[in-house]
Amino acid sequence: MDATREELQALKDDIERMRADLRELAKTAVGDVAAAEERAEGRLRQAYDAVREGGETVLRKSREQVQRRPLTTVIAAFAIGVLVGKLLDRNRS
pLDDT digits (tens, 9 = 90+) for 44-82: 999 999 999 999 999 999 999 999 999 999 999 999 999
Assigned domain for 58 exists: yes
Assigned domain for 73 exists: no
pLDDT given at position 72? 93
Res. 1: pLDDT tops 80: no
Assigned domain for 50 exists: yes
Task: Report the domain count for the chain.
Answer: 1
Assigned domain for 38 exists: yes
Helix and strand numbers, DSSP H then E, in the chain: 2, 0
How far is the CA of 85 from the CAs of 47, 51, 77, 91, 93, in angstroms?
35, 30, 12, 10, 13
How far is the CA of 23 from the CAs of 6, 15, 18, 28, in angstroms?
26, 12, 9, 9
User: What CA–CA distance (Å, rounded) separates 9 from 3?
Assistant: 10
**17: containing domain:** 2-68
Assigned domain for 43 exists: yes
Assigned domain for 56 exists: yes
pLDDT confidence bin for 20, thresholds 50/70/90: very high
pLDDT given at position 64? 94
pLDDT given at position 70? 93
Res. 93: pLDDT tops 70: no
Assigned domain for 35 exists: yes
Assigned domain for 46 exists: yes
Average pLDDT of span 20-41: 92
